RNA sequence: GCGGUUGUGGUCUAGUGGUUAGGACGGUAGCUUCCCAAGCUACCUACCCGGGUUCGAAUCCCGGCAACCGCACCA
């Protein structure tokens, strides 16, 4: 399906639409409608359930989304999230100053003022990489963070968080104090991140405000006990940086065990890579051949990341593999930076272990991107019929209830909805149009189960009195089920998978 | 940010200076005892925004906004 077709369908069904639309809309901002919101909550719930399920010591918090300037200075965002850009006066192309100057100054331009960069361009007679003219203008800084005036005097600055991770690092000392002084300690946040993208594109893939789900695992690199055997035989579709350097673009299937052995990756890292794969494949229902674990090279990843694999999903509407999640081994960079900046001691002494500054393993997940990818992957056009094959536990509407005929069966259908809701099943009534249209509507939004009340249900003389038809989305098959048996039958529909068998 | 293309009901679209702005799908209400988008009737909803030209603009011009494609960017 093409991107525009998919977007039209999502708009038509009220999943999402452009923000501030009656004012002509704002690029890079989208509002979620009822179905989009419900779907997104399901994805977030599935994520939380899976990754918080990895350990008893992983917790979810809800931090503020505004960061004082001192925080982003220490984190490096103030400096590194700013790219001086130069524009060619003749052909109007623009480039990062670093790119233009890479021949004359291979060390990069970090820390140079716009005037100093301009001087370098002038002295070295640098030409425009596009048209070859000497027409490059003075560079202007472009920071991807949204700055805020802070306080009445407006002298201090603050920023909308460009990633949710920073708040977790700031919360670490509190979490340590209130916890049981053991590593690993996990802090999960599902929240918004804000970036002033120059050119928002592709709807949910380049937004100015978006939702991240991130788990920061603080751990002792010399001691990270894990049930590695549980994932050792898992086959991972990895594309190593070294393979890419040799021109490979297809992933190779490598077991977790091999990735640690011959692959030379730390066990704790591979374990979480495997859990990422399982989450995308088994929880989100992404077909395995559409998942790729792509290792970022030294040049591609941020300098503080010692290891980085992106979890990529092949999305037809966006023309191929796109990053939805990532696994970053950030070492002790973050806690050390914040410790140095504040003068606070962020080293800890775990029970029966030597004192250390914990290392961080970051699991990050783009909720909006996942939403788009799942819609893209699941929607099938079968002639007139649009069918969304969505895992039942992710469906925005888990169960729909219809009266076969609105008048004679409407009351019984409404009563059934009430009964199901009392059992904690989010059933939704639809009594408009005809039965076939209702089935079609629900197929289009991925509702796995439709329940229909008919004449036999309400006829005390009929053998099928008190039973309803239960219709499965993918097969369209129906069967009659007694109403009292229905809650048990439907309870499984909304339950999120967990990473390990409950103990 | 740059260049190109485009902007008509919820969706897809017809209309290229004077139209009651047409259709299809959709939605709502009713009829039809009706389990997979059936039929019939009625109704609902639109010219992206702001200027200009003109007796008259959805239509032509300028500016803005937005989308798509390409370039650049995406620590």
**What ipTM was assigned to the predicted interfaces of this complex?**
0.93
**pLDDT grade for A62, boundaries at 50, 70 and 90:** very high
Name the nucleotide nearest A439; use CA and C1'.
Answer: B36
List the A366 CA – B6 C1' distance (angstroms): 31
When divided into structural domains, chain A yields a total of: 3
Q: Which two tokens stand for residue A491?
A: 């309870």
Q: Where are the alpha helices (DSSP H) in A400-461?
A: 406-422, 435-444, 455-458
Is the pLDDT reported for residue A5 higher than 80? yes
Residue-wise pLDDT for A196-205, tens only, equals 988 898 999 9
Residue-wise pLDDT for A154-207, tens only, equals 678 899 999 999 999 999 999 999 999 999 999 999 999 999 988 898 999 999
List the A231 CA – B37 C1' distance (angstroms): 46
List the A239 CA – B15 C1' distance (angstroms): 53
Residue scoring higher pLDDT (A247 or A359): A359
Is the pLDDT reported for residue A102 higher than 80? no
Name the nucleotide nearest A27; use CA and C1'.
Answer: B66
Residue nearest to nucleotide B12 (CA to C1'): A8
Domain-located, residue A353: yes
Q: Which of residues 312-351 of A touch strand B (CB under 7 A)?
A: none
Name the nucleotide nearest A408; use CA and C1'.
Answer: B33
Which structural domain range is residue A13 located in? 3-65+164-378
Name the nucleotide nearest A406; use CA and C1'.
Answer: B34
Evaluate if the CB of A212 falls below 7 Å from strand B. no
Domain-located, residue A337: yes
Domain-located, residue A478: yes
pLDDT at position A299 is 84
Q: Are A397 and A371 members of one domain?
A: no
pLDDT at position A502 is 47
Q: Are A211 and A286 members of one domain?
A: yes
Q: Which two tokens stand for residue A80?
A: 């590194």
List the A434 CA – B36 C1' distance (angstroms): 9
Domain-located, residue A356: yes
Name the nucleotide nearest A129; use CA and C1'.
Answer: B72
Name the nucleotide nearest A385; use CA and C1'.
Answer: B37
Name the nucleotide nearest A195; use CA and C1'.
Answer: B74
Environment class of residue A381 by beta-carbon count within 10 Å: exposed (0-12), middle (13-18) or buried (19+)?
A: exposed
Q: Which of residues 14-53 of A touch strand B (CB under 7 A)?
A: 18, 24-28
Name the nucleotide nearest A205; use CA and C1'.
Answer: B74
pLDDT at position A140 is 64
Question: How much is the mean pLDDT over chain A?
Answer: 90
Bin A176: left if φ > 0, else alpha if -120 < ψ < 50, else beta.
Answer: alpha
pLDDT at position A503 is 39
pLDDT at position A470 is 96
Q: Are A177 and A34 members of one domain?
A: yes
Residue scoring higher pLDDT (A280 or A345): A280
Environment class of residue A366 by beta-carbon count within 10 Å: exposed (0-12), middle (13-18) or buried (19+)?
A: buried
- CATH number of the domain to which A43 belongs: 3.30.930.10
List the A312 CA – B22 C1' distance (angstroms): 47
Query: Rounded to a whole number, what is the distance in angstroms from the first to the last CA of chain A?
Result: 43
What average pLDDT score do residues A16-23 get? Answer: 92
Q: Are A314 and A417 members of one domain?
A: no
Domain-located, residue A153: no
Backbone torsions φ then ψ of A341, nearest 5 degrees: -65, -35
CA dist list (Å): A137 to A44, A114, A142, A143, A500: 45, 10, 15, 18, 58
pLDDT at position A109 is 60
Q: Are A175 and A226 members of one domain?
A: yes
Bases of chain B with protein Cβ within 7 A: 1-3, 7, 10-12, 26-31, 33-39, 48-49, 64-75
Q: Are A278 and A206 members of one domain?
A: yes
List the A199 CA – B1 C1' distance (angstroms): 8
Residue-wise pLDDT for A458-502, tens only, equals 999 999 999 999 999 999 999 999 999 999 999 888 889 999 754
Evaluate if the CB of A477 falls below 7 Å from strand B. yes
Q: Which two tokens stand for residue A445?
A: 């939004």
CA dist list (Å): A103 to A108, A121, A147: 10, 11, 33
- CATH number of the domain to which A89 belongs: 3.30.40.230
Q: Are A175 and A292 members of one domain?
A: yes
Domain-located, residue A151: no
Q: Where are the alpha helices (DSSP H) in A161-282?
A: 165-178, 241-245, 256-260, 267-278
Q: Residue A57: name the closest of A179, A168, A167 by CA.
A: A179
Q: Are A111 and A138 members of one domain?
A: yes
- CATH number of the domain to which A393 belongs: 3.40.50.800
Evaluate if the CB of A489 falls below 7 Å from strand B. no
pLDDT at position A492 is 82
Residue-wise pLDDT for A399-457, tens only, equals 999 999 988 999 999 999 999 999 999 999 999 989 999 999 999 999 999 999 999 99
Among A111, A143, A175, identify where a domain stops.
A143
Q: Are A30 and A108 members of one domain?
A: no
Q: Are A113 and A204 members of one domain?
A: no
Name the nucleotide nearest A81; use CA and C1'.
Answer: B75
Q: Which two tokens stand for residue A190?
A: 């599902």
Evaluate if the CB of A88 falls below 7 Å from strand B. no
Name the nucleotide nearest A328; use CA and C1'.
Answer: B75
Helix (H) or strand (E) holding A486: helix A486-491
Among A349, A378, A407, identify where a domain stops.
A378
**pLDDT grade for A260, boundaries at 50, 70 and 90:** very high
List the A394 CA – B12 C1' distance (angstroms): 29
Q: Which of residues 58-87 of A touch strand B (CB under 7 A)?
A: 77, 80-81, 83, 87
pLDDT at position A340 is 95
Residue-wise pLDDT for A444-461, tens only, equals 999 999 999 999 999 999
**pLDDT grade for A112, boundaries at 50, 70 and 90:** low
List the A441 CA – B40 C1' distance (angstroms): 23
List the A443 CA – B41 C1' distance (angstroms): 29
Domain-located, residue A149: no
Residue-wise pLDDT for A321-377, tens only, equals 999 999 999 999 999 999 999 999 899 999 999 999 999 999 999 999 999 999 999
Residue-wise pLDDT for A285-309, tens only, equals 999 999 999 999 988 888 889 999 9
Q: Are A297 and A436 members of one domain?
A: no
List the A399 CA – B31 C1' distance (angstroms): 30
Name the nucleotide nearest A80; use CA and C1'.
Answer: B75
Q: Which of residues 402-441 of A touch strand B (CB under 7 A)?
A: 404-407, 432-437, 439-441
């Amino acid at each position: 399906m093409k991107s525009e077709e998919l977007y039209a369908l999502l708009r038509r069904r009220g999943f999402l639409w452009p923000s501030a639309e009656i004012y002509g809309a704002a690029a890079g901002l989208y509002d979620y409608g009822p179905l989009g919101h419900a779907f997104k909550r399901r994805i977030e719930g599935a994520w939380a359930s899976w990754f918080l399920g990895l350990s008893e010591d992983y917790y979810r918090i809800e931090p503020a989304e505004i960061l004082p300037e001192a925080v982003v200075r220490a984190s490096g965002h103030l400096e590194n999230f700013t790219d001086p850009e130069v524009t060619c006066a003749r052909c109007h192309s623009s480039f990062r100053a670093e790119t233009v100057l890479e021949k004359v100054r291979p060390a990069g331009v970090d820390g140079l003022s716009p005037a100093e960069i301009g001087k370098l361009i002038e002295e070295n007679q640098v030409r425009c990489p596009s048209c070859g003219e000497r027409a490059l203008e003075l560079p202007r800084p472009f920071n991807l963070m949204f700055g805020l005036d802070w306080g009445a005097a407006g002298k201090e600055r603050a920023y909308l968080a460009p990633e949710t991770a920073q708040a977790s690092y700031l919360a670490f000392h509190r979490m340590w104090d209130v916890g049981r002084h053991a590593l690993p300690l996990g802090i999960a946040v599902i929240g918004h991140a804000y970036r002033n993208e120059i050119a928002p594109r592709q709807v949910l893939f380049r937004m100015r405000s978006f939702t991240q789900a991130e788990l920061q695992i603080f751990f002792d690199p010399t001691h990270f006990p894990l049930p590695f055997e549980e994932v050792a035989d898992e086959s991972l579709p990895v594309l190593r940086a070294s393979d890419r350097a040799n021109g490979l673009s297809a992933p190779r299937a490598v077991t977790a065990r091999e990735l640690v052995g011959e692959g030379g990756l730390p066990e704790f890292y591979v374990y979480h890579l495997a859990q990422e794969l399982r989450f995308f494949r088994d929880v989100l229902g992404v077909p395995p051949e559409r998942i790729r674990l792509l290792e970022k090279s030294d040049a591609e990843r941020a300098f503080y990341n010692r290891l980085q694999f992106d979890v990529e999903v092949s999305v037809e509407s966006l023309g191929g593999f796109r990053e939805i999640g990532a696994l970053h081994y950030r070492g002790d960079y973050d806690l050390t930076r914040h410790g140095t900046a504040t003068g606070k001691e962020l080293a800890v002494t775990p029970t029966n272990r030597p004192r250390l500054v914990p290392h961080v393993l970051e699991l990050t997940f783009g909720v909006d991107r996942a939403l788009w990818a799942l819609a893209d992957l699941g929607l099938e056009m079968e002639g007139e019929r649009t069918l969304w094959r969505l895992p039942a536990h992710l469906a925005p509407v888990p169960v729909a209830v219809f009266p076969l005929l609105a008048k004679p069966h409407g009351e019984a259908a409404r009563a059934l909805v009430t009964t199901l809701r009392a059992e904690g099943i989010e059933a939704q009534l639809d009594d408009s149009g005809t039965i076939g249209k209702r089935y079609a509507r629900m197929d289009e939004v991925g509702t796995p189960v439709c329940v229909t009340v008919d004449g036999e249900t309400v006829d005390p003389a009929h053998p099928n009195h008190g039973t309803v038809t239960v219709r499965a989305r993918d097969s369209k098959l129906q069967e009659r089920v007694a109403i009292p048996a229905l809650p048990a039958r439907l309870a499984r529909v909304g339950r999120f998978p967990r990473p390990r068998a409950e103990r």
